[in-house]
Structure 1
Amino acid sequence: MIFAMTRTEHRRRTPLLLVEAATLLSATGNGVAVVALPWLVLERTGSATAAGVVAAASGLPLLLSSLFSGTVVDLLGRRRTALVSDALSAVSVAAIPLVDTLVELNLGWIVALAVLGAVFDPAGMTARETLLPAAAQAAGWRIERANGVHEAIFGLAFLIGPGVGGLLIATVGPEATFWVTAAGFALSVLLVAAVRLPGAGRPDRPPNGLWRGTQEGLGFVWRDPLLRTLSLITMALVALYLPFEGVLLPAWFVAEGEPARLGAVLMAMSAGAVAGALGSSVAGRFVRRRSLMAAALVVTGLALLGLALLPPYPGMLAFAGLVGLAYGPVNPLANYAMQTRTPERLRGRVVGVMTSFAYAAGPAGYLLAGPLVEWLGLATAFLVLAGALLVAVLIAAPLPVLAALDEPPRYPPAPPGGTTGRSEGPVPLGEQWLPAAHRDPPASR
């Protein structure tokens, strides 16, 4: 009997394990590519400009594709979108050494393959994220716990991915590194193909076209006060936070001649973020979500200001870790809001739209940081960006609309036994049970 119960529990948790294992492999592969692609370009051309062209070519399509990614998920289905995304990544990565063997691998080929691998990444990420509620329900997990683990795994992948890429380049060379990375993406395809969950297949009510579906997602986010506020908060945080990682800290440590310390500070941020995401699933049992969000925002702002004061190296490490730790709960809480305030048929579009806001804010922050450094100097630019972020979070943290994080879910999963109370098994998430107060009136259906 005990053995049978154990096997049953294992089967219930299998979909969640498959989704998270695929997330780890896919995100780690992208982290490896972040290192391997510029390394290959620099090795072949010796041109930093060429490496920048490849980075821009793989990054710019994300701005547009992320906006439509959720609509693609709602058109094709969650499992199918994740499969296509990882398959394209595997093909694009494997094609680099293959093209190099068959014809001369020049910059044009590298740019084209980098774009092919990156353009569908937001859709794959959105698809795996929209599978979480059903996977958590099957495993008997609270959705907050699943969100915290998912964000921690995503952060862990980007923490270890560049390190794995550097190790592979050093041991087997850049060409073989791409073959290993392609194998990781292929394994992710197999894992996602094995996922069996309600709502994972072809949607029953797909959107009416790519653009109209995206408009519907944009409209839904903008009409919901909490989702609209979280989108704006995320945009402000990303725009002011990313320049620290991508511009200011690298410039500071280059001037100091300490590249190894730069890596350690960025790793401390990432490790703190992983711990913060995991901790958010525990903290949610003891504190209100609004309180957790407010504390996360304020402590992130204060810790970033401490880092911007450029203390001695041990202090920088401590503040960097605290920045990541404090910021860790923000994404899981935003995910929870999207999952519980969005009808099942719109979930992909809403996740994709809100993700696209963050993608758009990052380049805006980078464009601001460069001129700011040239105009005010590096040390002052640190303080200006950190001060602006602190002002933003002090305005956002007490906003009354954040209390909606603690409201009952508008679109909860179906209760055990379905809507009738019979033991017919789980109701497909496309036919969710809703409390009477949240059901659409007949005229609007």
Structure 2
Amino acid sequence: MTETKRGPLLLILFAALMAGAGNGISMVAFPWLVLQRNGSALEAAIVAMAATLPLLAATLIAGAAVDYLGRRRVSMLSDVLSGLSVATVPVLALVFGVQVINVVVLAVLAAFGAFFDPAGMTARQTMLPEAAEQAGWSLDRANSVYEAAFNLAYIVGPGIGGLLIAAIGGINTMWVTAATFACSLAAIAVLRLEGAGVPDREALPDGVWAGIVEGLRFVWHTPVLRTLAIIDLVATGLYMPMESVLFPKYFTDRNEPAQLGWVLMAMSIGGLVGALGYAVVSKYLSRRATMLTAVITLGVAMTVVAFLPPLPLILTMCAIVGLVYGPIAPIANYVMQTRSPQHLRGRVVGVMGSLAYAAGPVGLVVAGPMADRAGLHATFLALALPMLLLGVVAVFLPALRQLDRSYRIAMCCLS
């Protein structure tokens, strides 16, 4: 296989890495800018929620936008708008002074960026099957490396974000974030791939809303997709506050931004190893067993972290979380890509993503005030125990047995 045929896949992987790194830096920088002002976990939760609340609607719309407007075009537009949302922070500080960067401004900009990020992620993910075929890669391998690149982004992003905050401050760190989105934009701008351009409108419903409903209906009537979406919804609602509010609160109180970066890096390093290792693990362990191991282990690790042990143990638990959870996204991607028709692929990815994000704002609303009133230990524990219960319940879900059935990529319309 020539380098030219691998080019589209490599460009998609690079774009995913750069955009993911930008989001990783933002994940550290936005809460830090809020907490630096007054140390309020509630206000940090407000900003984190602002970056999460639009994701439910945005991901649904993103899936339809990809199917209606074209994958390459949507990916590029997403990078432009996401880059503008973070570049506005230092621009406002230069023009009006740092005092204008308050919780309202940060919440609005975080929400603006979050609204457009899912479109780029959905567009890149839906281009993988054609790019993998052109490169001569199996779909499992392409998904494994794609998710590894995403996890690598969250090693580079939060780690560099924490170090940059310590070195040049949170506001100037946003310039670096904007540059990563510019790199992603440049990669997709030169991409040429079958199926990435203007879609065939004859295969699509007349209205966008009708198209979204079609995607929702397809997911709901596909038991394995419906079950994966529910598991993601619950796990995201329990896990996201830990990463977006509780860890930033803990390390801000200790004035240790670099250690916050290390913790998030540990999760991503584990996720990188887990995602890359999925192609090998899948030869010996079923997809269902991998899924159950991930959810149960996540609950155990979160319970250990709830007791706020020394940093080395926190880092170890976070790395284990990433390691066992790393293969989950490649599995979900494979199921979506092989069970949905090509003309419906963007909306299926969008529906699955939006359902995964649906519980995030609820978790953040609960976790922020609870951390201020009951303390970090009690809040961590309140999130960890339901995660353990989720793992037990998942063992008895029959739809997860369909994870180990093989399907050809659905390229034609639904009958």
TM-score by length of 2: 0.85
Whole-angstrom distance in 2 between the partners of 1:55 and 1:256: 20
Q: Gaps (5+ residues) in structure 1?
A: 1-7, 413-431, 434-438
Residue 338 of structure 1 is matched in structure 2 by: 336
| 1:45-444 equivalence runs, <5 A | 55-98=48-91, 106-107=100-101, 113-168=109-164, 177-204=173-200, 205-249=203-247, 262-370=260-368, 378-412=376-410, 432=411, 444=415
**How many angstroms apart in 2 are the aligned matches of 1:385 and 1:96?**
32
In the TM superposition, residue 185 of structure 1 has moved relative to its aligned partner by: 2.0
Deviations 1:213-240 (A, max 9, x none): 1111111111100000000111111122
Contact 2:268 / 2:322 at 8 angstroms: preserved in 1? yes
Residues 21 and 191 in structure 1, CA contact (< 8 A), matched pair in contact too:
yes
User: 1:71 deviation in Å?
Assistant: 0.6
Letter in 1 for 2:124: R
Other structure's SS at 2:141 match: helix
Matched, 1:25 2:23: no
Distance 1:62 1:296, change over 3 A: closer
Amino acid paired to 2:74: T
What SS does the aligned partner of 2:359 have?
A: helix
Q: Which structure would you say has the larger Rg?
A: 1
Confirm or deny: 8 A CA contact 1:145 1:282 kept in the other structure.
no
Q: Which amino acid aligns with 2:118?
A: P
Equivalent pairs counted in the alignment come to: 409
What whole-Å deviation, never above 9, does each CA across 1:127-178 have from its counterpart, x for those lacking one?
A: 1111111111111112112112212211221222133234445556666544
Q: Percentage identity across aligned positions?
A: 49
**1:282/1:222 CA distance change after superposition, 3 Å:** same
Q: What CA distance in whole angstroms lies between the structure 1 residues aligned with 2:374 and 2:108?
A: 38
Q: Is the 8 A contact 2:166 2:258 kept in 1?
A: no
Partners in 1 of 2:46 and 2:85 — Cα distance? 17
Shift in CA distance, 387/54, structure 1 to aligned 2, threshold 3 Å: closer
Change (3 A) 1:324 1:85: same
Over aligned residue pairs, what C-alpha RMSD do you find? 3.2
**Secondary structure of residue in 2 paired with 1:280:** helix
Counterpart CA distance in 1 for 2:132 and 2:304 is 37
Bigger CA drift: 123-132 or 147-156?
Answer: 147-156
TM-score normalized by the length of structure 1: 0.80
Q: What is the one-letter code of the residue matched to 1:136?
A: A
| Paired amino acid for 2:386 | A
User: Larger relative CO (CA 8 A, sep 6+): 1 or 2?
Assistant: 2
* Residues 66, 74 of structure 2: 8 Å contact kept: yes
Name the CA distance, whole Å, in 2 between partners of 1:232 and 1:267: 27
Which string of whole-angstrom CA distances, capped at 9 and with x for unpartnered residues, describes residues 352-371 of structure 1? 11111122211222233356
Structure 2 residue identity aligned to 1:225 = P
Contact 1:297–1:397 (CA<8 Å) still a contact in 2? no
In structure 2, do the counterparts of structure 1 residues 303 and 100 end up closer, same or farther at CA, with 3 Å as the change threshold? Answer: closer
Shift of 1:373: 5.7
* CA distance in 2: counterparts of 1:409 and 1:89, whole angstroms: 35
Q: Which amino acid aligns with 1:186?
A: A
Q: Deviations over 1:38-60 (max 9, x none)?
A: 666788x7796877665544443
Q: Structure 2: any 5+ residue segments left out of the alignment? A: none
- Distance (whole Å) between structure 2 residues aligned to residue 264 and residue 42 of structure 1: 18
Q: Go from structure 1 to structure 2 and tell me whether the alpha carbon gap of 1:393 and 1:38 turns closer, same or farther (over 3 Å shift).
A: closer
